[in-house]
Amino acid sequence: MRLGTWIILIVFAVPSSQVRAGSGPEHGCESADMNQRGDHVMGFSHTRTTHHFRLLSDGGAIEVTVNDPADAESRTMIQSHLSHIAGMFAEGNFQAPMLIHGMQPPGADVMTRLKSEITYRFEPLETGGRVRITTKNAEALDAIHAFLKFQIREHETGDPLKAGGAPPVPK
């Protein structure tokens, strides 16, 4: 019985030692760990796709597109994942980002509490998909922006950290 206990402790000790992607001198290793967890949770490869997180005046957007327009398999997986994410987030469930990042992203607790004040709409794109997030509630808007800024930093997308206009029109 003790052997089983040690195995459980070892399994749980590994994730807890991964403090947070993007922190400390081992940033490259932690980013690789986050990307590996992300590939597993999302169901498609981060190396075959591009993520963008957009801060908008009424909320924001999570966009994922294939790098190769002929990659129909990844496009299908992106659309399936983002459609699922829109539904989960609408229910106040932010388990997927927590599993990817090893921590609850900033803003997620407020987004859960104010879920009735936020709309999540999946939009298929020719090369992937988008989750459009909108609200008229100022507290929810601040939380959405905190959540998206965290994603921009963690995924190192280079997206602006200030709210802009509307996202591009779906193709």
Q: Domain coordinates of the chain in residue numbers? A: 30-155
When mean pLDDT is compared over 25-39, 108-122, 151-165, the highest value belongs to 108-122
160 is written with which tokens? 């602006």
Please state, in angstroms and rounded to a whole number, the distance separating the CA atoms of residues 29 and 18. Answer: 10
Mean pLDDT, residues 101-108: 82
Lowest model confidence (mean pLDDT) among 55-59, 90-94, 153-157: 153-157
User: How far does Cα 164 stand from its chain's mean position?
Assistant: 19
Overall pTM surpassing 0.75 (yes/no): no
pLDDT for 98: 59
Environment class of 149 (CB within 10 Å of its CB; exposed 0-12, middle 13-18, buried 19+) = buried
